[in-house]
Structure 1
Amino acid sequence: MQTLKAIIFDVDGTLANTEETHRQAFNSAFEEFNLNFFWSESEYAELLAISGGRERLHVYFKNHRDAFPCETNLRELSLLVHRRKSEIYREKLIAGQIGFRCGIKRLIDEARERGIKLAIATASSKANVETLLKNNLGDNALDIFEVIVTCDIVQDKKPSPAAYQFALAELGLTPDVCIAIEDTSNGRKAALAAGLKTIITTHAFTTNDDFDSASLVVDQLGEPNLPFIVETGENFGRDYVDIELIDSILSSDAESETESDWNEPVLSVAK
């Protein structure tokens, strides 16, 4: 009997390898504003511990206060730089330069064939999510997903569970029949705090993240002819993530991801 009722995807780094494009966009914005900053891959990987590009930039500017004239309003400047960064990123996104990661489209198609609901829980903007989906799934892409939770809907960033809690409420489902697919430690913590078991797909910016309590950590979802590499967790004899594997995870007696280290209040679920 099929246990799985819904798959909830993160976006940046999970559906697509967007983080490198984000990094390049930040560096281009720094150059346009004549700021003597350049985020290397290793530095950006550390900065991803701060969820949300706007928040990430503001914290970085505050930590480098000495690089600015005393009269500089860092919050205002970070908003301006982030706005330009977002424009640069969106130009690349609209140009179709960002495709889905290995196995994403196959799993989406398989879920639809099996009547499994699909949802998104992300800190990305509604506009960027919609463009990415349409570029990779066609003009009717938005109809494929039952629920799309973005930063336009939920204020609290991961590791807050707010986005996942909102998605579960909209789906009308309990966490035990859903799976979260993530790529970061903050995403794993958010899903865990919402009571969800989690599959992690790592990439260059998150290979050193803490993924304790994730049910399965792999380098990609994989394909029948392109198997994933298991980093931690039980793959139940499968070579790629499919509905059978997810069902096995949900039905397993492995340690449940119901206890969370998230003990801060959810400040605001919806704007």
Structure 2
Amino acid sequence: MTPSALIFDVDGTLAETEELHRQAFNETFAAEALPWNWDAPAYRRLLEVAGGKERIAHFLQSQPDGAARAVGRIAELHAAKTGRYTALVAAGATLRPGVARLIREAKAAGVRLAIATTTSLPNVEALLGASLGQGAMTLFDVVGAGDVVPAKKPAADIYQYVLERLALPAARCVAFEDSTNGVRAALGAGLATIVTPGIYTEGDDFSGALAVLSDLGEPEAPYRHLAGAGAADTMVTLDALGRWLESA
């Protein structure tokens, strides 16, 4: 059963972008003379909160020093951070192995493509433009990003939003994720889910995923199978996805 649509998360899934996000947050804090710097262990914990504005708000709850003057500026700080992030991405961003290949294969086969992410739309546009070129957004039939739904992952809202606009049942689609929150959101919408853990999500709980793989694989660089379907394959292809769905 060839899927009718492939639905991709963005950060950590399409590309390893979380370090750029962390850098942009820290540069913003420094520019605003705020006494915070998120190191990698702290950022890993903060990633349990989906959404940049929500992440800042969560952090402020535990930071009495300077928090009072920043709490009313969350949207402003996030906007400044987004500007820094998009500039970093534009300077050079590469997709994870197999992503561009699978997107090309899907387009050639008439399989629809969609985005389901909690990151803001300018971040999506910057990454896709830098990695796939001008007009990359038109490759996707539906883009669900940022605040288009009231509840962010692990709530299933963003996937339900995308499915409604694709006008397809969840059983005909496959989601691609990298985190526990993402998997919970996709499974909550009834989607078979392929997981490629990122640098901040290795060791997360991916219970219920159809397959857990190091990446989507390339002819010269096969993926490493971690769990679930895909042990006998070397790349995520439409044919492989069809076989995995049928055997699930």
Name the TM tier (shorter chain): over 0.9
Q: Return the match for 1:171 from 162, 166, 169.
A: 166
Partner of 2:78: 82
Q: Within 2, Cα distance between the matches of 1:198 and 1:111?
A: 17
Check if 1:214 corresponds to 2:221.
no
Instruction: Give the superposition deviation at 1:228.
Output: 1.0
The TM-score normalised by the length of structure 1 is 0.87
Instruction: Give the superposition deviation at 1:162.
Output: 0.9
Gaps of 5+ in 2: none
* 1:84 alignment partner, SS class: helix
Counterpart code for 2:120: S
Q: Within 2, Cα distance between the matches of 1:131 and 1:244?
A: 31
Identity among equivalent positions (%) equals 40
Partner of 1:10: 9
* Residues 73-152 of structure 1 mapped to structure 2, 5 A cutoff: 73-95=69-91, 97-152=92-147
Counterpart code for 2:22: R
Instruction: Give the superposition deviation at 1:192.
Output: 0.4
Q: Within 2, Cα distance between the matches of 1:4 and 1:230?
A: 21
Gaps of 5+ in 1: 255-271
Partner of 1:68: 66
Instruction: Give the superposition deviation at 1:236.
Output: 4.9
Query: Is the 1:223–1:240 contact (alpha carbons within 8 Å) kept by the matching residues of 2?
Result: yes
Alignment CA distance shift 1:59-1:36 (3 Å) = same
Q: Which runs of 4+ in 1 moved over 6 A?
A: none
Q: Within 2, Cα distance between the matches of 1:244 and 1:250?
A: 10
Instruction: Give the superposition deviation at 1:137.
Output: 2.0
* 2:165 alignment partner, SS class: helix
Query: Is the 1:236–1:245 contact (alpha carbons within 8 Å) kept by the matching residues of 2?
Result: no
* Residues 23-62 of structure 1 mapped to structure 2, 5 A cutoff: 23-62=22-61
Partner of 2:154: 159
Query: Is the 2:177–2:195 contact (alpha carbons within 8 Å) kept by the matching residues of 1?
Result: yes
Partner of 2:245: 250
Instruction: Give the superposition deviation at 1:73.
Output: 4.2
Instruction: Give the superposition deviation at 1:143.
Output: 2.1
Alignment CA distance shift 1:152-1:61 (3 Å) = closer
Q: Within 2, Cα distance between the matches of 1:61 and 1:170?
A: 36
